[in-house]
Chain A
Amino acid sequence: MFRSLLRSTTSGSRSVLAGHAALHPSSTLTSQLIAVRLLSTETRAAIQKAVDSSPMVVFMKGTPDQPQCGFSRAVVQIMELHGVIPEKVKTYNVLEDPELRNGIKEFSEWPTIPQVYVNGEFVGGCDIVLGLHQSGELEELLEKHEIIPKIPADAAPNPSS
């Protein structure tokens, strides 16, 4: 479990995607039971490790190159817009790991995916990230944690000297 959970997303998984509709929580009793099951200590520890694995961590559907959901795509696009430094970001494809997909919701006490963490702290989902982007707070946050390059205050051409 650890290996699959901690494997950062490098490739899209079509077989997992095919099961997408069938995993709808209301469709089967089993998946509902999974959703309400308490998070095991191991899963919690593994997710915590994932959250701490990088200054910015995104749990999403699909990969940055191939997002499998419009909300995940929106978050990736906002990140690209800000020019996040790739080495500072790690993404996890929840579609590749059902345990992570259910576990992360309970871990963050957040019902939807994507989920964004910065510096080990839960920032929010797509709505919140979009809101922070629009208000300018996202840039501040990313800059503060050196996830985007700092633009020095005196970056403007200086005529003196």
Chain B
Amino acid sequence: MPVSVEDLEKTLRSAIKVEYLEIVDESSGCGESYRILVVSDAFEGKGTLARHRFVNEILKDYISQMHAFSQKSLTVKQYQASLT
């Protein structure tokens, strides 16, 4: 079963309060390569490595099925700052 955008979104949203989410399938639909941007205050107080580990853990069953996975995990404040 290829991993779908819905799988990832549902799993993330059920684990943390997501303020903004972007999931890009970079595999042209075969579900093997995803790039995600997660914005959540659940990352507050966590360093980059800890955030990535945190997201990896939430999505581990899916990541193990993918060929490539890339993430950006920002707090709401950081995301807003990145937009300006």
Contact = CB atoms under 8 A, between A and B. Distances in A.
A126 interface: yes
B65 A124 contact: no
B65 A109 contact: no
A128 B56 contact: no
Contact of B64 (A69, A111, A131): A111
Main DSSP-derived SS at the A contact region: mixed
A32 B60 CA distance: 13
A127 B70 contact: yes
A24 B67 contact: yes
B21 interface: no
Given A122-B49, A124-B49, A128-B49, A111 B63 contact: yes
Nearest to B49: A124
Contact of B52 (A24, A71, A128): A128
Contacts of A26: 1, 64-65
Main DSSP-derived SS at the B contact region: mixed
A43 interface: no
B70 A124 contact: no
B68 A112 contact: yes
A26 B3 CA distance: 10
Nearest to A20: B67
A35 interface: yes
Interface string B46-84: 001100110010001001110111111000000000000
A2 interface: no
A16 to B, nearest CB: 16
Contact of A127 (B32, B64, B65, B71): B71
Interface in A90-149: 109-112, 122-128, 131-132
A25 interface: yes
Given A24-B32, A111-B60, 11 more contacts: A25-B64, A26-B65, A32-B64, A71-B68, A112-B63, A122-B49, A123-B49, A125-B52, A127-B52, A127-B70, A132-B48
